[in-house]
Amino acid sequence: DIVMTQSPVSLPVTPGEAASISCRSSQGLLNSNGYTYLDWYLQRPGQSPQLLIYLGSNRASGVPDRFSGSGSGTDFTLQISRVEAEDVGVYFCMQALQTPFTFGPGTRVEIK
Amino acid sequence: VQLVQSGAEVREPGDSLKISCQGSGYFFMKYWIGWVRQKPGKGLEWMGMIYPGDSETIYSPSFEGQVTISVDRSTRNAYLEWSSLTASDTAIYYCARLETYSGRNDAFEIWGQGTMVIVSS
């Protein structure tokens, strides 16, 4: 199985400031079709997860442009340019290159 | 487009259980549906997925033999079933629809609201 790790575990942020979350995979997520199978999800308190970023860097429908995904190979980053109160929750990365799909352990973003 | 899951369940160890996930607003047979477990206060675990078009099913090795994933095309429901629950099955279970932005399964775009399962004597 591909093992996913994330850092930091917890991230206190001030509204309006930028935030960055790192995700690493135990093997590269680039497929022979040229796509990188790495997604980002946000789970707000008491809610189901929602898709933020798919295939490494593509924002899902309705996701504000303050969210961006980057990276390649085994190292990926989710950036929030200006954190808002509604961004509080746990962020998970997930690899969809091969089954079993695997999630990172999550990064909890909280407002200072 | 939505996935609506069945309500919370409380069962005793050894009981059987089948929870459901009904898709609406899209061509049900075209998209894989996956199941994801979240134990209390913990992260997300991919359990497996099913293609309603032909019932092809892929399980995570961690869950194979522990649960059964099935589908009823006539009612547009996917199911997750246990034959004998244990306390360690206590969790929220989400179903989610897989999108194919790249031409193959690549992201869980639509999520159900979750079904809480509590197993306690």
Whole-number percent of chain B with pLDDT over 70: 100
Cβ–Cβ gap B113/A48 under 8 Å: yes
Q: Mutate which of A1, A2, A48, A91 to disrupt the B interface (most B C-beta within 10 Å)?
A: A48
Q: What is the pLDDT of residues B20-39, one digit of tens each?
A: 999 999 999 999 999 999 99
CA atoms within 13 A on the CB side of B32: 19
- What pLDDT does A74 receive? 98
Average the pLDDT over A10-17 and give the result.
97
Q: Could you report the per-residue pLDDT of A55-94, keeping only the tens digit for each?
A: 999 999 999 999 999 999 999 999 999 999 999 999 999 9
Mean pLDDT of the A101-110 span? 98
Kindly list the residues of chain A whose beta carbon comes within 8 Å of any beta carbon in chain B: 1, 31, 33, 35, 37, 39, 41, 43, 48-51, 54-55, 58, 60, 92, 94, 96, 99-106
Whether B107 and A102 lie within 8 Å, measured CB to CB: no
Interface test with A, best of B59, B97, B108, B116 (most A CBs within 10 A): B108
Strand partners for B34 = B49, B96
Question: What would the pLDDT profile of A36-56 be if each residue is shown by its tens digit?
Answer: 999 999 999 999 999 999 999
Residue B42 near residue B88, CB atoms below 8 Å: no
Q: Do B44 and A100 touch (CB under 8 A)?
A: no
> How many CB atoms sit inside 10 A of residue B43's CB?
17
* pLDDT for B54: 96
For position A44, what pLDDT does the model report?
A: 98
pLDDT tens, position by position, B55-105: 999 999 999 999 999 999 999 999 999 999 999 999 999 999 999 999 999
> Quick one: pLDDT at residue B114?
98
> Given pLDDT bands bounded at 50, 70 and 90, which one contains residue B1?
very high
Q: Choose among A55, A102, A105: nearest Cβ to B102.
A: A55
Residues on chain B touching A51 (C-beta within 8 angstroms): 99, 107-109
Average pLDDT, chain B: 97
β-strand partners of B95: B35
**Of the candidates B110, B46, B43, which has an alpha carbon nearest to the alpha carbon of residue A107?**
B43
